A = this chain, B = another copy of it.
Amino acid sequence: MNPLAKELNDILAGTLAEELLSDYGKRMYFPKGIISQSAEAKQKAHKYNATIGIATEHGNAMCIPSVFAEFTGDLSKNDVFPYSPTAGELPLRKIWLQEMVKKNPSMAGKTTSLPVVTGGLTHAISLAASLFLDKGESIIVPDMYWGNYNLVFTEQREAEQVSFPLFADGKLNITGLSETIDAIEGPHVAMILNFPNNPTGYTPTNDEAARLVSMLVSKAQQGRKLLIFTDDAYFGLFFEKDICRESLFSLLCDAHENIFAIKGDAATKEEMVWGFRVGFITYNSKGMTEAQYEAMVKKTMGAIRGNVSSCSKPAQSILLKGMQSATYHKEKEAGIAVIGERYRLMKQVLAKYAGNAYLTPLPFNSGYFMSFVCAGDAEKLRLHLLDTYEVGTISIKNAYLRLAFSSTDLEEIEDLVRIVYQGAKEVFA
């Protein structure tokens, strides 16, 4: 093991984080090589700095002018062309944490690691899986989940996904999760929870969230060591009053020494910049010190450096400028309101089909999507809708059909739903 990895492990000694690290996670370190020598030079090399691995002229990044011409004058060459730091732009990491605490009042006064910039939310999940999941280990994933988890957990990490039904009687299946935790052997239990959920568009009610957290804390009290990854991709897209508007991560912050919580979130959907590839990973566990959080950040930086070196600089600079605009919050709310209007119309229209024999909507109250339970092969229905009506939908596990109201204009919703029910009747009757 590299001595720098050992140093970090020594700092983490006795923490739950250290106990839960994968072999790879234990081996991870941030090298004292070119990057850290360059950082030193940035501080001290006031005369000449011959460390920099880019091309500069008089302190500014060189560039191809035709490329620079695609940016507005608001951005300098040094805003868009040099490498971003391995952990991301510091001002962006700080503003992201500030906003996180504003959006999640339960985090106030609690400490976490400073969010590390990742190349999107998938990257945050993939990094966390590398750092914490070993071959053959289990991770609990609800039965309604984003299919890409398969590539990360099953194929990349060779972990075993343990499933439980997300819903029981149209409500969040907290008992199911509790029993699934109990059925996992050994002290460690890893899980990923994604609310608002893809594909169902479900967020726990306030009451469900409180009971979920209390159940998880009770497991921790019983001695189970919980690794809880919250996939907050659709955070903020809350369309009902009584649902939990905080991240589960926030509610788990400092909840118990036996809980290590990892928040994966992203500008992707929260700031409507899907293609930018800017996500974040943030850690919390009760009792962890600043130095221990910093050690986890260093390990994460090592994992990033050996995978993608660093994340997109222009994306981070542009996002930061946008977030610093005086009208940013108002503009963001306006976008959410547009999707909210579609959500409400979708609810109204679906109500007319209540009791339909072929399609039953799963509970939804947030996010981008709603899903139907199909009375037959959902893939067959998808193909029928596509070929007969030129209507695109997503089939999942041949059992569910997902509609995105995020990308359906308001005036299309009623007719879209009509066609989907019509098609279902034709295929399933």
Contact = CB atoms under 8 A, between A and B. Distances in A.
Given A52-B404, A155-B2, A390-B44, A72 B75 contact: no
Q: Classify the interface of chain A: helix, strand, loop or mixed.
A: mixed
A222 interface: no
A51 B308 contact: no
Given A120-B308, A406-B54, A70 B318 contact: yes
Interface in A16-65: 24, 27-28, 31, 33-34, 37-38, 40-42, 44-58, 61-65
B275 A58 contact: no
Given A55-B368, A119-B277, A407-B56, A325 B66 contact: yes
A237 to B, nearest CB: 9
Contact of A72 (B58, B70, B305): B70
A41 to B, nearest CB: 3
A391 interface: yes
B72 A407 contact: no
A319 B24 contact: no
A122 B307 contact: yes
Interface in A49-107: 49-58, 61-67, 69-72, 74-75, 80-84
A64 B322 contact: yes
A319 B119 contact: no
Interface string A254-297: 00000000000000010111111100000000000000000000
A10 to B, nearest CB: 18
A409 interface: yes
Chain B CB within 10 A, most for which of A40, A155, A368, A369: A155
A161 to B, nearest CB: 13
Interface stretch (A145-153, A168-176, A212-220): A145-153
- Categorize the interface residue count of chain A: 35 or more
B338 A24 contact: no
Given A55-B407, A272-B81, A335-B62, A41 B392 contact: yes
B389 A47 contact: yes
A253 interface: no
A311 interface: yes
A185 interface: no
A44 B335 contact: no
A412 B55 contact: no
A372 to B, nearest CB: 12
A34 B199 CA distance: 10
Given A41-B386, A306-B126, A67 B273 contact: yes
Chain B CB within 10 A, most for which of A44, A273, A318: A273
A302 interface: yes
Contacts of A37: 382, 392, 394-395
A353 interface: no
Contact of A44 (B40, B62, B386, B395): B386
Interface stretch (A136-144, A189-197, A223-231, A326-334): A326-334
A123 interface: yes
A344 interface: no
16 contacts: A34-B394, A38-B392, A41-B393, A45-B390, A47-B390, A48-B408, A50-B405, A51-B407, A53-B274, A53-B404, A54-B274, A55-B368, A64-B273, A66-B321, A120-B309, A126-B307
Given A57-B409, A121-B309, 15 more contacts: A34-B394, A37-B394, A48-B415, A48-B419, A50-B405, A53-B404, A53-B406, A56-B409, A63-B272, A82-B275, A120-B310, A123-B307, A123-B308, A151-B302, A277-B312
List the 7 closest A-B pairs by CB distance, nearest first: A275-B313, A41-B392, A151-B306, A45-B392, A67-B322, A66-B325, A52-B407
